[in-house]
Structure 1
Amino acid sequence: MILMAIAAGGFLGAVSRFVIGNAVKRRFPSSFPLGTLSINVAGAFLLGVLFGLGIEGGPYAFFGIGFLGAFTTYSTFMVEAWRLEVLGERRRAVLYLVCSYAGGLSSAFLGLAAGINLIKWLFS
């Protein structure tokens, strides 16, 4: 059952990444990979919320491992950073790396805090 939850979440996460990434590219055309950046930062936030809420078992398998695992993408992030460097856009590559790491860590922390505070609010 857990594998089915991961597979279903993964399908929805991958499709969502494709749709949202392409929508961002169309809305903000640029060589800067804003689509992947926004998806990865949002995914870090949502995973932080899941941890903060204490989600486990099947729901975590579906949302955390499946959906968010397929929604966010470390490999595309690395290839896009490398691509910017190869194209001679070193400043953009460094900006992308800094924004991705700092944005991801910050978003995960904020998501964790939001999840914890939601639990406190619900049960106070």
Structure 2
Amino acid sequence: MQVSHILFVDSPVGAGFSFSREPKGYDVGDISSSLQLHEFLYKGYLVGNPMTGESIDFSAKVPFAHGFGIISDQLYETISKHCQGEDYTNPANALCAQAMNTFNNTYHYYLSYYWANDRRSGDQGGELP
């Protein structure tokens, strides 16, 4: 059985099926609409886009982390060299496993630093803004 989900984002609020219970929710300028969409996408990023699939999400983390400067060129090249086509979650190659261990430690440290220092996550009682 194959299941798929589609999410439509009505932007600005009031277009399509979206609505607001308060008049201030209909602030539909370009800037406010883009800020609302940015916040929505930010929440999806922090959740990790759980519906994509674990294999796709994890295999994309290495190029993503390299592209955003989270990991060094050297670590990226080491992973590329030793993990060619291997499963990042359970590599059979010892050098790949060592490189992925370094990657995971670096990536998780970066995300915890980002989360702890993001003003939007501080006042939410553990919830996203």
Q: Same fold (TM over 0.5)?
A: no
Ranked by relative contact order (alpha carbons within 8 Å, sequence separation 6 or more), the top structure is 1
**TM-score, normalization by structure 1:** 0.30
Larger Rg: 2
**TM-score, normalization by structure 2:** 0.29
Higher helix share: 1
